[in-house]
Every structure is written in C-alpha cells, then in structure tokens.
C-alpha cells in the first residue's frame, strides 16, 4: 500500500513507548503539491488490541484479522483518491494513516471493500490537514532521531 502515488519505498523505524516496541513504516518524503492539494483529509484507521501477551504486539489470530483489514485498505487505495502515508503497530495499537480526497467517497469504498468481512473493532477518524503537517512532522521527527533509529530502538517518538 505504501507505493501507490509516489515510488519512494517506505522506511521502517522501531521506537519504544512505555518499554514496548512500536514498528513504523512511513513514506519518507512529501508528495507533490498536486497530490497534497487533492487529498486534504488526514484519515486514521485505528485498531486497539490486547498486546499484553506479545510485548505489545497482537496475537497470531488477531494479527490475521488485521492483515485482512490491511488488504481491504490496499484495495481502497487502488481507487486513486487516497494514499497511505504511514502505519504503526505496537503498544496495543495498529494504525493505518492515509490522506484522502473525500470522506464520503472513502467510506463508500471502504465499506465496499470490507463487505462480507466480519465487523472490525476499529475507529476511523478524519482531520482536515491541507498542509499535510502530520506527515511532515513525522518525517521531521524521524529524521531528527535517525542516528538513534538505525538498527535500534528510540524512545523519542511514540
């Protein structure tokens, strides 16, 4: 899902929150102005889970359900009106973060792509972010912490 609009491979970073690992995959650069203008809505799809038994990570069965949701979101993204910019997993939370063109269109496509799936225990939140400041802040934070994040954990970002 990370490469639909820009051909930059995602970067993977490991951080710590309350001693638990969080794995982040993100697009390391801002897309062009036309893409940003066309997609002013920051959209966060969050799945809280009990990660107590797995160092903050989901259990095997729950992870399989999360992977099905991930595949459905990849199908939503194929429509070209949204773009995933980062995802994170750990400390009891899986998040997929996208920028989208239109909330109603996104929900229509999302519901179409999950039709027939069991109901997912997720929350979908929308925030107006025309400047794409959420992604820029994430990129800036990871660049600032880059030496600490290369091959080891950094508690700086969570």
CATH architecture designation of domain 11-149: 2-Layer Sandwich (3.30)
pLDDT in tens, 11-24: 999 999 999 999 99
- Give the model's pLDDT for residue 76: 95
List the chain domain ranges. 11-149
Q: CB of 99 within 8 A of CB of 53?
A: no
89 pLDDT more than 70: yes
Give the whole-angstrom CA distance, residue 126 versus residue 39: 12
- Give the model's pLDDT for residue 9: 63
- Give the model's pLDDT for residue 53: 86
Strands 122-128 and 41-48: antiparallel
Out of 7-16, 61-70, 111-120, pick the least confident.
7-16
1 pLDDT more than 60: no
Give the whole-angstrom CA distance, residue 74 versus residue 125: 18
Query: Which stretches does DSSP call E strand in the chain?
Result: 11-17, 20-26, 41-48, 82-90, 93-100, 122-128
149 pLDDT more than 90: no
- Give the model's pLDDT for residue 145: 84
What does the buried/exposed string (b/e) look like for 46-85 if buried means 16 or more CB atoms within 10 Å of the residue's CB? ebebebeebebbbeeebbebbeebbebbeebbebebbbbb
40 pLDDT more than 90: yes
pLDDT interval class at 7 (50, 70, 90)? very low
**DSSP-assigned letter for residue 101:** S
Predicted TM-score of the model (pTM)? 0.87
131 pLDDT more than 50: yes
- Give the model's pLDDT for residue 158: 42
């Amino acid at each position: 899902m990370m490469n639909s609009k820009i051909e930059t491979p995602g970067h993977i970073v490991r951080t710590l929150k309350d001693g638990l690992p969080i794995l982040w995959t993100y697009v390391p650069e801002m897309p062009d102005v036309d893409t940003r203008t066309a997609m002013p809505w920051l959209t966060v799809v969050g799945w809280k889970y009990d990660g107590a038994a797995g160092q903050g990570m989901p259990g095997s069965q729950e992870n399989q359900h999360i992977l099905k949701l991930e595949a459905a979101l990849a199908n939503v993204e194929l429509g070209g009106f949204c773009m995933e910019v980062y995802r994170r997993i750990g400390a009891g939370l899986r998040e997929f973060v996208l920028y989208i063109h239109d909330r109603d269109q996104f929900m229509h496509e999302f519901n179409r792509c999950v039709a027939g799936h069991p109901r997912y225990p997720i929350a979908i939140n929308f925030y107006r972010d025309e400047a794409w400041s959420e992604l820029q802040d994430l990129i800036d934070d990871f660049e600032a912490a880059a030496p600490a994040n290369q091959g080891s954990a950094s508690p700086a970002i969570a």
